[in-house]
Amino acid sequence: MTVATAIVATLALPGAGISPAANAQSNATAEALAQLQATESQTLSLATAAEGVVDASRGEYTATSAAEVRRIQLAAESAARAAAWSGPRVSDFLANPPYPSFSLDQVVQVALQYQGVPYRYGGDTPAGFDCSGFVQYVYAQFGVALPHSVSGQASIGTPIALADARPGDLIIFNNMSHSGFYMGGGQILDAPYPGKSISVRPLWTDSYYIVRIGI
């Protein structure tokens, strides 16, 4: 890519007052960017990878951390999986639901099948889900059309008391930042955040409420 090439070239230029450590640091950064360019150029712009590497206005060099490089690689891999997904989508399920008879018990069984699917921001297929995309995909298999947003799902559901909640109901965070499936026993089944996968895990907050779909 032109942007990445320009950045690498800039990093290679000697500058007054730059220590050997800074040069080594910039060389390591250039090497990491070159590797990303070779492996992920079709799915992720290296302009993003370079963000924060060089602050031209201050004339300073900073190394991209290993964690940041890994984050970029995970995002690229996730985007590649999403682009390659050829299985059913929400619209396919809504047109021909595989589970036309709705029950919360069945919702749980279907949702559990997706444990291990990685988180992907904006994801709405088993190539990668975000929290509301996961909920939307599962309920679509019962012919239930839900928005791909936490607030939208909250508005469609009917709030119920925690004492009346059943596995398969939806957990909605009070600040509308997250949704998932209530599993009972203080646990949630959800698509958590980048780098993690769908799983059943303990709830870490009490700032949520329960809604039930279909009533």
Residue range 154-194, pLDDT digits in tens:
999 999 999 999 999 999 999 999 999 999 999 999 999 99
Identify the pLDDT of residue 8: 40
140: left (phi over 0), alpha (psi -120 to 50) or beta: alpha
Identify the pLDDT of residue 4: 43
Identify the pLDDT of residue 67: 75
Identify the pLDDT of residue 86: 74
Identify the pLDDT of residue 117: 97
CATH assignment, 90-212: 3.90.1720.10
List of long-range contacts for 26-34, beta carbons under 8 Å, 24+ apart:
26/61, 26/63, 28/63, 29/53, 29/61, 29/63, 29/64, 32/64, 32/69, 33/4, 33/7, 33/8, 33/64, 34/4, 34/8
Which residues of the chain are under the pLDDT cut of 70? 1-63, 70-71, 74-75, 77-78, 81-82
Identify the pLDDT of residue 63: 58
Identify the pLDDT of residue 109: 98
Would you say the C-alpha torsion 18, 21, 24, 25 has a positive or negative sign? negative
Provide the residue ranges of all domains of the chain, joining segments of one domain with +: 2-84, 90-212
Sheet with strand 208-212: strands edge to edge: 158-160, 208-212, 170-173, 179-184, 187-190, 199-202
3-state secondary structure 87-135: CCCHHHHHHCCCCCCCCHHHHHHHHHCCCCCEECCCCEECCEECHHHHH
Identify the pLDDT of residue 159: 98
What pTM, to 2 d.p., does this model score? 0.66
d(CA 163, CA 97): 31
